[in-house]
Structure 1
Amino acid sequence: MGNAPWLSVIGLGEDGLDGLSPASRQVLDDAEVIMAPPRHLSLVPHGTQDRIEWPVPYVDGFAKLLDLRGKKTVVLASGDPFWFGAGSVIARNLAPDEWTALPGPSTFSLAAARLAWPLEKTLTMGLHAAPLARLRPHLARGVRAIVLLRDGDAVLDLAEWLTALGFGDTTLHVMEALGGPRERVRQGTANALGFDDIAHPVCVGLDLDGSGASIPKASGIPDTLFETDGQITKRPIRALTLSALAPQQGEHLWDIGGGTGSIGIEWLMSHPSVTATTIEPRADRAERIRRNADAFGQDRLEVVHGLAPDALVGLTPPDVVFIGGGFSENLMRWLHETLAAGTRLVANAVTLESEAALALWHGKLGGDLLRIELAQSAPLGPRRGWKSAYPVVQWSVML
């Protein structure tokens, strides 16, 4: 048997002590120290415990928390600490036998109950410390979402952002201080909200509507949604390339020769656990990749300005590599000598020179070689004909 945990993380609602279970009340009564943000501390009457305000930014509080080891300590968090809350962050910094959690009703559960929305069919997102663009991949008519926001100004920003993207007819259910005496629920459309006296804490239920462009769930986002100078893996080739890259949960991608960033962005959209680094030698294109990633809500894309293979040194090792531009003998040799066995590689070649280098390495390592030839209808005098694109040779191999 190990020692009893010195730290308890208790989920507190806006109704303060009234909403706590008997077990949570007992832990709080027995505590020597209560540590929490000022709003949470204000919901708990003063007792015999020492009270410490959790500082801003949140990460700065962990040094203070660790200094309390050996004292019975309670950290107060909102609702369910492990649903877009502080619980996972605290757990990462402590051994499993040092802490325990006593969750309360989450804001999402309270909001779903007010709106009569089945929670298992509703998108839930914590945007109180994340950009609004994280919502972008999910914007489509008929989608329902409940999002946590930083404050009232963030609600107004959300309404303006939705309207600019063509989703101004979306109904916003603005819910303040759910579960407490200050609770208030109001509605309005994004393009005509009609009120701005929105109090913290706040969450918003979105019933999405409008004529804005939605992003498809299958691979192959329309090219027109990207900012580009023309250097982009076109939609049909991109769909085939993502299929060959075959992202799996938790994998990390190197996208060498990022161009517009479309491959890395779509890779990230495949699953929230995957990560990606895009390497681009031109500074203007690297900046454009950053803008595209942010616009699609994929701000976690790492963009490296530099020329491979030199720019690859020191990066997080990949599980998968895509070479979309600049396939060369020198680059391929470095990858083959440096990367771990089992790393997957997909390379697209358009020029005769890169195709020849790719064919040479295919002869050495094997793998699958695919020639992709596409044609699109185009005007041909008064009639129509087929206009062929440059053929693409695609090599897929496991190193």
Structure 2
Amino acid sequence: MASEVGAKAPWLTIIGIGDNGLDSLTPLARTLFDAAQTIIAPERVLARIDCGTRETIPWTFGIKETIAFVLARRGTPVTILATGDPMFYGVGATLMRDLDKAEMRVIPSPSAFSLAASRLGWALQDVAMISLHGRSVHGLASHVQPGNRILALTSSGRTVVEAAQILSARGFGRSEMHVLEHIGGPDERIKILRADRIAADKPDFADFNTLAIACEAQPGAVLLPSVPGLPDEAFEHDGQLTKREVRAVTLARLGPVPGGLMWDVGAGCGSIGIEWIRSARGAKAIAIEASEARRTMMAHNALTLGAPGLDIIAGTAPDALADLAMPDAVFIGGGISHDGVFEVAWDALKPSGRMVANAVTVEGEARLFALQAVHGGELIRMQVSRAEPVGRYLGWKPMMPVTLWSVTKGLDA
């Protein structure tokens, strides 16, 4: 269908519009708007412009419903008015997943990020640009680092308060928060407050706002770097945790990549999947865990550590692996000696995908030796000792040795 439509003129036009309405449109965008037959736009946009007698549809439904509505009119001229740049966390980028690019014509306006940077004097290449619009506000957490600057799209004024609470809980209450309301429009206003003040007072903000944060850590702040190997105490767990030294090596061999999907089989408290997500832009992880208590801990860890998108699956491998999306990497942290776990995961792994399996039992280690003999790869045995008090002195306390097997799936496997 896409190839047939692709030979024709675009039927879907997406025009970026600012808070100052039609005055924000370029001559080309204005020409396309004037020629539009059906216009879909947010109610606040439609309230400020004159669409004449043309069909207008207020955008009051969710993004999934919007996509379904637009696709149902495929081939019929439709114009969408979207805030700012439709290809930057916007409806254009979303629809491009379902449509051929030849079906769409996109005319952007300056994004909220560009407008905010121009007001604040921030260089965009030095800023983390994220969206909290229609997403969990806990996605902010992985970007909270000393000296970091963050620009965030929000869902409402309440998002600002929730972000301030996250910053304060992490020891970043001194951070300066700029709330840019109705930026680019006649009602534009910028409010500047410290995060701890917002968290305590919970003031009201306009729902149409962009949030800018200058992160400042206070003494005792919890620092959680983006490199693998977060402190063990950063996770809520019941002892079933891949320790940070082993975790760092495991993640290095899994090789997180932008947009990559990993399966975490026998996920425990979710440490591997969470750190995979934190390590690369757009990385995704599916965590499979049988224990309800551990899944609850995992969900908590995913929120507090900035990986709210972690997909948690209840069940036991290999049965729970059926019908999951093909992964770019697989980590088997538990159950490698169980029948069918490796085979199902290996069959699903994409060509050139990476698999890492860890074992602490003799039986698990024997299974890794057998798999390495057939599939190749690399075996490593790690034993970490940590210095702990022995009376008035320090002594080395060894942890259980861990055997790691890492292998890359061949193109012809």
**Post-superposition shift, 1:320?**
2.0
Contact 1:255–1:276 (Cα < 8 Å) also in 2 = yes
Q: Structure 1 residue 70: deviation in Å?
A: 5.4
Which of the numbers 150, 169, 188 marks the counterpart of 2:155? 150
Structure-2 residue corresponding to 1:198: 205
Please tell me whether the aligned partners of residues 33 and 71 of structure 1 are also in contact (alpha carbons under 8 angstroms).
no
Which sits farther off after the overlay, 25-34 or 360-369?
A: 360-369
Equivalent residues, number: 399
Distance 1:122 1:339, change over 3 A: closer
| SS of corresponding position for 1:192 | helix
- What SS does structure 2 have at the residue aligned with 1:291? helix
* CA deviations over 1:234-254 (Å, ceiling 9, x no partner): 000101111121223443222
Aligned-residue offset at 1:150? 1.6
* Aligned residues: CA RMSD: 2.1
Give 1:287 shift. Answer: 2.0
In structure 2, the CA distance between the partners of 1:87 and 1:260, relative to structure 1 (3 Å rule), is same
The verdict on how the C-alpha distance between 1:3 and 1:361 changes in structure 2, with shifts beyond 3 A counting, is closer
Residue 32 of structure 1: which of 19, 22, 37 is its match? 37
> Partners in 2 of 1:177 and 1:258 — Cα distance?
43
Partner of 1:389: 399
CA deviation after TM superposition for structure 1 residue 96, in Å: 2.6
Within the alignment, does 1:244 sit opposite 2:244 as a pair? no
Tell me the alpha carbon deviations over residues 341-398 of structure 1, each in whole angstroms, 9 at most, x when there is no partner: 6543211111122122222322333321111121111223332221111111111123
User: Are residue 279 (structure 1) and residue 279 (structure 2) matched?
Assistant: no
> What is the alpha-carbon distance in structure 1 between the residues aligned to residue 214 and residue 259 of structure 2?
31
CA distance in 2, matches of 1:39, 1:62: 20
Identity over the aligned pairs, expressed in percent?
39
Is the CA contact 1:32–1:71 (under 8 Å) kept in the aligned structure 2? no
Q: Answer with 338-347 or 301-310: which moved more.
A: 338-347
Closer, same or farther in 2 for the Cα pair 1:181/1:393, shift >3 Å?
same
Equivalent residues in 2 for 1:90-129 (5 A)? 90-129=95-134
> Cα–Cα, structure 1 residues 357 and 208, in superposed 2: closer, same or farther, change >3 Å?
same
User: What does 1:1-399 align with in structure 2 at a 5 Å threshold?
Assistant: 2-69=7-74, 71-193=76-198, 196-211=203-218, 212-328=221-337, 330-331=339-340, 334-335=343-344, 338-339=347-348, 342-399=352-409
Letter of the aligned partner of 1:209 in structure 2?
A: E
CA contact (8 A) 1:141 1:209 kept: yes
Q: Deviations for 1:156-187, whole angstroms, at most 9, x for unmatched residues?
A: 22223322222111111111111111111121
SS of the residue 1:168 aligns to: coil
The verdict on how the C-alpha distance between 1:376 and 1:70 changes in structure 2, with shifts beyond 3 A counting, is closer
**How far did 1:207 drift?**
0.9
- The separation in 2 between residues aligned to 1:111 and 1:330, in whole angstroms, is 55
Q: Deviations over 1:113-148 (max 9, x none)?
A: 110111111111111211111011111221111111
Contact 1:138–1:215 (CA under 8 A) maintained in structure 2: no
CA contact (8 A) 2:263 2:287 kept: yes
Give the TM-score taking structure 1 as reference length. 0.93
**Partners of 1:269 and 1:78 in 2: how far apart?**
28
TM-score using structure 2 length: 0.90
The 1-side partners of 2:371 and 2:69 are apart by 56
Deviations along 1:306-352, one digit per CA (max 9) or x if unpaired, are 22122222222323221112221524563487445654321111112
- Structure 2 letter corresponding to 1:321: V
Shift of 1:227: 0.6
Q: Extract unaligned runs of 5+ from structure 2.
A: 1-5
**CA distance in 2: counterparts of 1:339 and 1:88, whole angstroms:** 28
Alignment deviations for residues 250-297 of structure 1 (CA, whole Å, 9 cap, x no partner): 432221111111011111112133322111122211221122112222
Q: Distance in 1 between matches of 2:348 and 2:77?
A: 48
Does 286-295 or 99-108 show the bigger shift? 286-295
Contact 2:257 2:281 in 1 (8 A): no
Contact 1:7 / 1:98 at 8 angstroms: preserved in 2? yes
Judge which range, 98-107 or 338-347, deviates more. 338-347
